[in-house]
Structure 1
Amino acid sequence: MRTLVSVIMLLLVSATAHASVDMHNPNQVIQSVSINTFARLKADHDRLQREPTYIKTVIEEELIPYFDYKYAAYMVMGNYLQQTSDVQRGEFVDVFKTYLVNAYGHILFEYEQQEVEILDLPDYQDKNIVSISVRIRDANNQLTQLVFKLRKNRKTEEWKVFDVIAEGISMLNTKRSELYELMHKKGIDHVIKLLAEKNREFSS
C-alpha cells in the first residue's frame, strides 16, 4: 500500500515551470504533472540525497500549486466546518497543508522509476468536478490504476487536484474518517494540536 501511495504522490509532484501549465484545463494539469514528475526527481536526486530536508522545498514548489489543500481541508472537516470560527478554520488549513507537505515528502524517498499513461481526457466544459484515470506501470511490469479528482475554482476557474482514488479507496475520505470523529469528540482545537504534533515529528 505504501508503494501505491508513493506513486500517487509522485504523480502530484510536477517539475519546473508551472506557470506554463494551463490551469484552466484539467487535462493539461494532469498531463503536465505526470510527464514532468520524474524529470524533476531525477534532476534533484543528488541534492535530495545530500539534503533530505530539501524535499519539503520541492513539495512546496511543485505539489502545492496543483493541490487544492484548502478545499480538501474543508472536506475533511465536513459539517463540523460550520461549528468553527474563522481563526480555527485558518489554523486547521495551515496545519493540514503542512501535514501534507511532510507526509508527501516522507513518501517521496521511496521513489522508483515508473511509467505513466493517462487513460482518458474527459470533456470538462460546463463541469465543476472531473475524474481522470491514470495507469502506472512499475519496474516489475505491475499495473496500477488511479483516478484523480479535480475541482474548478469558481472565482479563478483554475482546476486543481483535491482527491485521489486508488483501488477504490479515496484518500480524502480516508483522512476524513480518521479526523472527523475526533473533531466531534474532542473539538477542532484538539485535532489542530494533534496535526501540529505530527508535523513536528515529521520534521524531527
Structure 2
Amino acid sequence: MRIVFAVCLIIATFLTHAQTNVESDPNQVIHSVSVNTFARINADKEKLQAQPDHIRVIIEEQLIPYFDYKFAAYKVMGSHLKNTTREQRDQFVEAFKTYLINAYGHILFEYDQQEVEILDNRHFQGKRIITIPVKIRDKNDNITQIAFKLRKNKKTGEWKVFDVIAEGISMLDTKQSELNELIHKHGVDYVITLLEKKNSEF
C-alpha cells in the first residue's frame, strides 16, 4: 500500500502544469509543479471531507490530461490490439482511464505531507522515452524508490507519463500481464466489462 500511495503522490507532484512546459526540460517540469496538485488538495480539504468523490474531479483536472493513458492502454492490450475494432479500442481506453482515476483518487485521498526527492535525468535530448527516478520519504522516515517512464509526443513535444516502476516493478507490465491473459481467454469485451464493473464498485 505504501508503494502504491507513493506512486500516486509522485504522479500528482509533477503532472499539473506540464501543458505549459511542453518543449522544456522534463526535469524542470517536475520541479516547477511539485506543489500544485497538493496545494489543490489542501485548498479543497473541507470539500473533500464533505464530498469524498471530489477527489475524482481533482484527478480528472490535475492528472489525467498529462498521463498518456491511451498509449498505456494500448500497451496493456499488447498484441491483441490489432484484432480489435475501433469501438472496442475506444471502450477499452475509456474504461482504463476511469480505472486510473478511481485508483489514484482512492489512494491520494490518504495524502499526508510526504516528502519528494526528484533525481534529475539530464540525458533526455534527442530521446522520446526517458526514465526519471524519485524517492518518497514518509513521516516515519520510510523511503520508497520510484521511477517514471515518460514519452515525448513527436507532434506536440509534450512529455507524458505512461508507466511507473515501483521498487523495480513496472505497473504497466503487471497490468499488461494480468489483462492480456484475460483477453486471450475471454476476449476484449469481457475485459472491458470487467473494468467497468470494477469502476462501478469504487
Aligned residue type for 2:182? L
Tell me the equivalent position of 1:35: 35
Map residues 55-134 of structure 1 onto 2, 5 A cutoff.
55-134=55-134
Aligned residue type for 2:105? G
Whether 2:185 is the aligned partner of 1:192: answer no
Q: Deviations over 1:107-149 (max 9, x none)?
A: 1122221111111232311101000011111111121221011
* Distance apart, 1:155 and its partner CA: 1.8
Change (3 A) 1:99 1:16: closer
Q: Deviations over 1:21-63 (max 9, x none)?
A: 3022322332244333332221221111111110110000001
Quick check: 1:12–1:66 contact (8 Å CA) kept in 2?
Answer: no
Quick check: 2:16–2:36 contact (8 Å CA) kept in 1?
Answer: no
Number of paired residues?
Answer: 201
Tell me the equivalent position of 1:11: 10
SS of residue matched to 2:21: coil
* Distance apart, 1:10 and its partner CA: 1.8
Tell me the equivalent position of 1:176: 176
Q: TM-score, normalised by structure 1?
A: 0.92
Quick check: 1:11–1:37 contact (8 Å CA) kept in 2?
Answer: no
Q: Distance in 1 between matches of 2:78 and 2:186?
A: 16
Q: Distance in 1 between matches of 2:199 and 2:42?
A: 26
* Distance apart, 1:20 and its partner CA: 6.6
* Distance apart, 1:15 and its partner CA: 8.3
Give unpaired runs (5+ residues) of structure 2. Answer: none
Whether 2:152 is the aligned partner of 1:146: answer no
Quick check: 1:165–1:171 contact (8 Å CA) kept in 2?
Answer: yes
Quick check: 1:135–1:146 contact (8 Å CA) kept in 2?
Answer: yes
Give unpaired runs (5+ residues) of structure 1. Answer: none
Quick check: 2:18–2:66 contact (8 Å CA) kept in 1?
Answer: no
Quick check: 1:15–1:40 contact (8 Å CA) kept in 2?
Answer: no
Q: TM-score, normalised by structure 2?
A: 0.93
Quick check: 1:21–1:28 contact (8 Å CA) kept in 2?
Answer: no
Aligned residue type for 2:180? Y
Change (3 A) 1:16 1:186: closer
Quick check: 2:121–2:131 contact (8 Å CA) kept in 1?
Answer: no
Tell me the equivalent position of 1:157: 157
Q: Deviations over 1:63-98 (max 9, x none)?
A: 112200000000000111111111110110011001
Determine what percentage of the aligned residue pairs are the same residue.
61
Q: Distance in 1 between matches of 2:198 and 2:122?
A: 37
Aligned residue type for 1:66? Y
